Amino acid sequence: MSPVKKLNIGFVSTRFAGTDGVTLETEKWIRVLEESGHRCFKFAGLIDPESEATMTVPEAFFGHPDNEELNALIFGRKVRERQVTDRIHTAKELLKNRLYEYVRRFSIDLLVAENCLSIPMHIPLGVAMTELIAETGIPTIGHHHDFWWERSRFLINAVPEIIEQCFPPNLHTLHHTVINSMIQSDLASRRGLSASVIYNVFDFDRGKPHANGNGAAFRRDFGFDEEDILILQPTRVVARKGIEQALYLVKQLDMPKVKLLISHSSGDEGSDYLDWILETARQQHIDVHLLYNRLAETRKRDDEGKRLYSLWDVYPHVDLVTYPSLYEGFGNAFLEAVYFMKPILVNRYTVYIVDIEPKGFQVISMDGFLTQKNIAGVREILTDREKRKAMTEHNFDIAKRFFSYAVLKRRLEGILYDFFGASG
């Protein structure tokens, strides 16, 4: 089969910056597509870094003051004033004009809507994208990471007809993709729309990782001894991550020099849960370290000359990863732990049970609460080097088969063939 012709592919979202899941997975798609010879471009309200292949329109950012004010008038109520409707359409027209400009400027052949047609964080952008696709018939992939009905703050709203029509829309040139089979079923039952499942991936094809050689510096910078046992919780501090289970684990292990490292802050979801975790740790004499003030997207030094590390610099130097989440859209941190060949304690959240566990990973698994069997399993894996090595190598090989860039490439090639056929 001849390859698809080389395309100009335009990604659209509210933001391409930072380390959120949408931004990270978009970069993976771009890498795979560009390695196949396609050219990729970005449109968003916030883009970092900007380049000649990007188009930044500040009004498209979900955190733009105009959009935040509009959302305050839409969500949490069931009726809207006429001026709110007018504001939606005014903002939509501005964004649609810029999207048309984007398509013309970069001669876009295919659009990829990154979560902007599934989560209504920016209503005008979703309407603008829907109308653009309907008016031009441009082939579009909807890369949906999660949907509005999964977030309680979107359930009560004053724009039900707009959300029904645009999040996501039912258009004949729009191919829907989702990141797990649970969402696939929800989309079919709620909206009658079919979707392809494209799992989040990691670059398992580049070979197994090696420690970056800065272990002594890493431990010294964070005040750890060589004998310390480091357990990493690689998530934000929000209640659905179940971090209290990681606290219980450290307490009940009853092993000397165990440290619990938490990678991220609470973000925009408030500090109540973080405060409770820290107070619980203090009362139980559990040694917890928050890393987020010393983490950056890439390794560098701050204004005072202190080393800042990326999360991927941390993984090689920890002994165990805890992942006791109650809910996840997929589980990027799980794949990262597998890539860095670390043993994992994981709670069997729904998507894990349906899409990840059947692949055959070897982990220490819990069902909502920590058992003595779990504790014993962790203690054994921390003290038995050979068993730990066998487990992590097995997991790496499984992930390479099901969650690698090569798998993503095959999935995307199939969609592109459906749209454009083979060249020549």
Q: Does 199 have pLDDT greater than 70?
A: yes
> How far, CA to CA in Å, does 197 sit from each of 185, 329, 338?
10, 12, 21
Report the candidate in 276, 414, 259 with the shortest Cα–Cα distance to residue 322: 259
Number of Cα atoms under 13 Å in the Cβ half of residue 333 = 26
pLDDT tens for 63-74 read: 999 999 999 999
Q: Does 213 have pLDDT greater than 60?
A: no
pLDDT tier for residue 14 given thresholds of 50, 70 and 90: very high
Q: Judging by DSSP bridges, how do beta strands 300-301 and 307-308 pair with one another?
A: antiparallel
Q: Does 296 have pLDDT greater than 90?
A: no
Q: Give the other-Cβ count within 10 Å of 409's Cβ.
A: 18
Give residue 302's pLDDT.
Answer: 81
State which amino acid sits at residue 103: V
pLDDT tier for residue 29 given thresholds of 50, 70 and 90: very high
pLDDT tens for 348-366 read: 999 999 999 999 999 999 9
How far, in Å, CA of 89 to CA of 337, rounded? Answer: 45
> How far, CA to CA in Å, does 23 sit from each of 11, 14, 145, 184?
11, 10, 11, 21
| Average confidence score pLDDT of the chain | 93
pLDDT tier for residue 1 given thresholds of 50, 70 and 90: very low
pLDDT tens for 131-183 read: 999 999 999 999 999 999 998 899 999 999 999 999 999 999 999 999 999 99
| Overall size of the chain counted in residues | 424
Give residue 51's pLDDT.
Answer: 96
How far, in Å, CA of 346 to CA of 367, rounded? Answer: 9
> How far, CA to CA in Å, does 368 sit from each of 182, 324, 326, 329, 412?
19, 8, 7, 17, 35
Give residue 18's pLDDT.
Answer: 81
pLDDT tens for 239-249 read: 999 999 999 99
Compute the average pLDDT of residues 307-324.
Answer: 91
Compute the average pLDDT of residues 187-209.
Answer: 92
Give residue 299's pLDDT.
Answer: 79
Beta carbons within 8 Å of 360's beta carbon, 6+ residues apart: 398
pLDDT tens for 74-105 read: 999 999 999 999 999 999 999 999 999 999 99
Give residue 210's pLDDT.
Answer: 65
Q: Does 40 have pLDDT greater than 50?
A: yes
What CATH superfamily classification does 205-401 receive?
Answer: Glycogen Phosphorylase B; (3.40.50.2000)
Report the candidate in 354, 370, 360, 367 with the shortest Cα–Cα distance to residue 391: 360
Domain boundaries, given as residue ranges, for the chain: 8-201+405-420, 205-401
pLDDT tens for 364-393 read: 999 999 999 999 999 999 999 999 999 999
Q: Which helix (H) or strand (E) holds 54?
A: strand 54-56
Give yes or no on whether 8-201+405-420 and 205-401 have one common fold.
Answer: yes
Compute the average pLDDT of residues 189-214.
Answer: 85
Q: Does 211 have pLDDT greater than 70?
A: no
How far, in Å, CA of 35 to CA of 327, rounded? Answer: 33
C-alpha distance across the termini of the chain, in Å: 10
Give residue 319's pLDDT.
Answer: 96
Tokens linked to 280: 């619980």
User: pLDDT over 70 for what percent of the chain?
Assistant: 97
How far, in Å, CA of 5 to CA of 416, rounded? Answer: 9
Q: Does 311 have pLDDT greater than 60?
A: yes
* C-beta pairs of 183-189 under 8 Å, 24+ apart in sequence: 183/144, 183/146, 183/147, 183/329, 186/147, 186/149, 187/144, 187/147
Chain position carrying tokens 């839409």:
74
pLDDT tier for residue 228 given thresholds of 50, 70 and 90: very high
CATH of 8-201+405-420 among 3.20.20.70, 3.40.50.2000, 3.40.50.280, 3.30.70.100? 3.40.50.2000
Beta carbons within 8 Å of 211's beta carbon, 6+ residues apart: 316, 317
Give residue 151's pLDDT.
Answer: 87
Alpha helices, H only, 308-371: 311-314, 332-339, 350-351
